[in-house]
Amino acid sequence: MRPTLFIRKVKLNILTNLLVFCCVASLVSAQQTYQESGDEQFKYYTHGMRALQLGLYNEAIANFQRVLQVNPQNAEAYCELGAAYRFKEQTDEALAAYLRALELPASPQTHGVAHVCLARLYHSQGRFADAENHGQHAVAMLPKNPEPFFRLADTYLQRGKLALAQQTYQQALALDANLAPVYQGLGRIAFLQDRLEEAVRYYQQAQTLAPYHAETHYNLGLVYRRLGRSSVGGVSNPNASQNLAEAKNLMTSFQRVKTYNEQTNRYRRRLLEQPTALEPRVKLAEAHIEMGNRKEAIRAYQIATALHPNTRQLYHNLGGLYMQTGQLAEAISAFQRLIALDDTDAEAHLHLGWLHARQRKFTQAQTYLQTAIQRDKNLTPAYYGLAEVYAQQHRFADALAIYQQLISIHPSDAKAWVRQGVLHLKQQQVPEAIHAFTQAITVDENSADAHNNLAWLYASQGEHLQRAVELAERAVALDANAARLDTLAYAYYRYGAYTQAEQSILRAIDLEPKNTAYKDRLNEIQRAVAAEKKR
């Protein structure tokens, strides 16, 4: 029996194709034409486009060839056929398709697409004169699209026409200021002309826009290496060592990104041979996740779910990535698809509950979270989620009941005891709150929140003040932050230890200098100190 593919779950807690211009630019006009004519070309064309998007290039080629059997004069289909061949790395066939598109009557947009794709292919072959020729035609036909401009500028740069390259890159920037290839090209020109500080700025911008482009890390490292010369024009360079250190860091990051690029390219090559295979696509997604490239990981999982719509773990991972990137509607759709496949999946219901709570759709959130608990009685986050949904609606008694359920299952869950104590306080149930915080400390002597909250409660009640100080000191020792230092200051203040109180609140203010409540506390303490001195 064939072993089941293990798909790692995305834990919830690229080199990108900068423009896929060559394969989609003419689709809209073509669709309109086909829909109006009612021609069967539309069916094959749309099937071909979907296959292109899913990486099913042989299928795409077959569909575009069917279009051309019906209508041999269809220039748009030749453009998309060229794109499919280009993605399969069949350059000669791609060139032939684009050149054929130019021979047929078509709109300036379609011919412009063919020219820019030819320019790109000829550039990759080192045929720079041909690339320049087609690039010039492309910018004339597509004056509002930045890609023809930066492709042409790349060719000018390669041919040493730096002034023309600079001018053409600037034209691309005027159309779109967020194109990494433009900044890479401008950085290269500045480097060649020894304008090193300017080169740094351009390459840094390129790195910001396309952090997974290894060449940018390398080129920026070269600039810093040159900036690290011990002297410039006979004058000592005070920043030499700092620049050399930066160059070293960039060469390290270059190696890391280069390894990532090589790894993802290996998986892409496997997918060229086996486009519907699940394993290399999942490994591609995991490589993107490991690198932090969530955008490309999402794209990999989107294609995987389209090709393998009944593989449940794919939706878990895709939904998790959507959550991490703040795409809540898309995450909801992914998890709803998952529970349509398997309604017993407790974690999917949990995530749907959390997502609806984020949107303040509390009724739906409550339903999903209750279902999650029914599906898995030990799914602790579902109890927390449901209790907090109730708390946000000021249904404190219901929230307390949920935490009580959780504590009955996991009596050593200190956080549940702490949250229960906070909810008791919201209802002025002081003895119950004291009990809850005390229990939290009993089950976890390192719970900073429990120590802090009980200290505050004792101090505000004016009871057990020495114990309040001890608890607050312990909370700060466990995990010092401004809020806990404020509690410590308040406990000292109520205990009458004004010097220690002032020292503690000043530490809190150092951490959060804009917090007016801490400044009010300081004034309160200082007034007490002044009053004591007058006695």
| DSSP string for residues in 226-286 | HHT-SEETTEE-TTHHHHHHHHHHHHHHHHHHHHHHHHHHHHHHHHHHSTT-HHHHHHHHH
230-259 pLDDT, tens digit each = 666 667 788 889 999 999 999 999 999 999
Residue-level pLDDT at 532: 81
Higher pLDDT, 163 or 9: 163
Residue-level pLDDT at 49: 96
| Phi, psi of 210, deg, nearest 5 | -135, 75
Q: What is the pTM of this model?
A: 0.84
In DSSP terms, which residues pair with 17 in a beta bridge? none
The residue among 148, 157, 84, 78 whose CA lies nearest residue 119 is 148
Q: What is the mean pLDDT of residues 28-46?
A: 67
Residue-level pLDDT at 23: 46
Q: What is the mean pLDDT of residues 371-387?
A: 97
Distances (CA, A) of 242 to 205, 225, 509: 20, 10, 34
Q: What is the mean pLDDT of residues 195-209?
A: 97
The residue among 277, 340, 282 whose CA lies nearest residue 307 is 277
Domain boundaries, the chain: 447-535
pLDDT at 71 over 50: yes
Instruction: State the Cα–Cα distance between residues 55 and 52, nearest whole angstrom.
Output: 5
Q: What is the mean pLDDT of residues 380-398?
A: 97
458-472 pLDDT, tens digit each = 999 999 999 999 999
322-347 pLDDT, tens digit each = 999 999 999 999 999 999 999 999 99
| Phi, psi of 18, deg, nearest 5 | -65, -35
pLDDT at 22 over 70: no
Residue-level pLDDT at 7: 53
In DSSP terms, which residues pair with 231 in a beta bridge? 236
402-459 pLDDT, tens digit each = 999 999 999 999 999 999 999 999 999 999 999 999 999 999 999 999 999 999 999 9
DSSP code of residue 535: -
pLDDT at 534 over 80: no
Instruction: State the Cα–Cα distance between residues 318 and 312, nearest whole angstrom.
Output: 10
In total, the chain counts a number of residues equal to 535
Confidence of residue 39 (pLDDT cuts 50, 70, 90): confident
110-129 pLDDT, tens digit each = 999 999 999 999 999 999 99
CA angle, residues 24, 28, 32, in degrees to nearest 5: 150
Confidence of residue 35 (pLDDT cuts 50, 70, 90): low
Q: How many CA atoms lie within 13 A of 361 on its CB side?
A: 14
Tokens standing for residue 532: 């004591």
Q: What percent of the chain has pLDDT over 90?
A: 89
Domain 447-535 has CATH 1.10.3230.20: no
Q: At what angle do helices 75-87 and 57-70 cross, to 10 degrees?
A: 160
Residue-level pLDDT at 17: 33
Instruction: State the Cα–Cα distance between residues 425 and 458, nearest whole angstrom.
Output: 12
Residue-level pLDDT at 237: 81
In DSSP terms, which residues pair with 235 in a beta bridge? 232
Instruction: Quote the strand ranges of 1-78, DSSP E.
Output: none
Residue-level pLDDT at 236: 77
Q: What is the mean pLDDT of residues 30-34?
A: 52
Q: What is the mean pLDDT of residues 297-301?
A: 98
pLDDT at 37 over 70: no
First to last CA, the chain: 90
User: How high is the mean pLDDT of the chain?
Assistant: 92
Of 23-27, 240-244, 313-317, 400-404, where does mean pLDDT reach its minimum?
23-27
Instruction: State the Cα–Cα distance between residues 406 and 379, nearest whole angstrom.
Output: 9
In DSSP terms, which residues pair with 236 in a beta bridge? 231
- Which residue has 């496949």 as its token pair? 341
Q: What is the mean pLDDT of residues 154-183?
A: 97
**Burial tier of 326 (Cβ tally within 10 Å: 0-12, 13-18, 19+):** exposed
pLDDT at 32 over 50: yes
Q: What is the mean pLDDT of residues 294-299?
A: 98
The residue among 276, 279, 300 whose CA lies nearest residue 288 is 300
3-state SS of 292-340?
Answer: CCHHHHHHHHHHHHHHCCCCHHHHHHHHHHHHHCCCHHHHHHHHHHHHH
Q: How many CA atoms lie within 13 A of 22 on its CB side?
A: 24
Please say whether the beta carbons of 19 and 209 come within 8 A: no
Instruction: State the Cα–Cα distance between residues 403 and 419, nearest whole angstrom.
Output: 8
Q: What is the mean pLDDT of residues 339-360?
A: 97
3-state SS of 456-500?
Answer: HHHHHHCCCHHHHHHHHHHHHHHCCCHHHHHHHHHHHHHHCCHHH
